[in-house]
Amino acid sequence: MRTQSIFVSFLSILTITLFVGCADLQGAIAQTSAWRDEAHTVKDTLSEQIRLMESELTSLESGSPSAIQLAADLKIARAKHSTLQAAIAQADLVLQEASEPTDSITTIAHGVSSWVPAPIQGPLVLGAALIATLARSRQLKESSKSIVNSIAHVLERDEQFRSIFKSHADTIRSIQTPGARRIVDRTQSKRASRSIIE
């Protein structure tokens, strides 16, 4: 749900940016790049604020009202930072896809854009690039879930594999990205829910 809100926010900002005076595709890309650069600046400022809050938190007495409030503020700041980081990553993907199309949707949009009025070119190509990158992200997520389900299936049926896997579980967990960890956790919880229901 949180990822969807990031994408909706990014799409809304992108749409507003594009419809407020884009002259052509290059102008739209330039405006979107400028927005992304501003977002980087905000993210860097937020990173510094988080660092200062973490430093201040270590100097406060644990459990004090000030420490509790600062910990809550820190949690909110970290969530904002993660959201902003995800939006910037999505903007990078969209800009890359719009500049150098790798997907048929974006390639077609590029071809059609030369036939439409200049103010429509940018939104057309960037919108197609956004759709292409979101579709690619969805495919990667579904593929990742399939891998997790395959491993879980083998773990349930092969005792030797399960014992070897368990002996290396800490190592596997330590090298997983946070995104991979979330996919594994969600998939495992869904599998557990299904087995309870059955």
Q: Give residue-wise pLDDT tens across range 17-75.
A: 555 445 566 777 777 788 888 888 888 999 999 999 999 988 988 888 888 898 999 99
What H or E segment, with its residue span, contains residue 64? none
Which token pair is 96?
A: 């890359």
Provide the H-helix boundaries in 100-117. Answer: 104-113
Which token pair is 143?
A: 């593929």
CA angle 155, 156, 159 (to 5 degrees): 65
Q: State the distance between the two ends of the chain, measured CA to CA, in whole angstroms.
A: 27
pTM, two decimal places: 0.58
Question: Which pLDDT tens digits describe the chain residue by residue (198 residues)?
Answer: 455 555 555 655 555 555 544 556 677 777 778 888 888 888 899 999 999 999 998 898 888 888 889 899 999 988 888 888 888 888 888 888 887 888 777 777 767 777 777 677 677 777 777 777 877 777 777 888 888 888 888 888 888 888 888 888 788 878 877 777 777 777 777 766 665 555
SS (H, E, C) the chain: CHHHHHHHHHHHHHHHHHHCCCCCHHHHHHHHHHHHHHHHHHHHHHHHHHHHHHHHHHHCCCCCHHHHHHHHHHHHHHHHHHHHHHHHHHHHHHHHHHHCCCCHHHHHHHHHHCCCCHHHHHHHHHHHHHHHHHHHHHHHHHHHHHHHHHHHHHHHHCHHHHHHHHHCHHHHHHHCCHHHHHHHHHHHHHHHHHHHHC
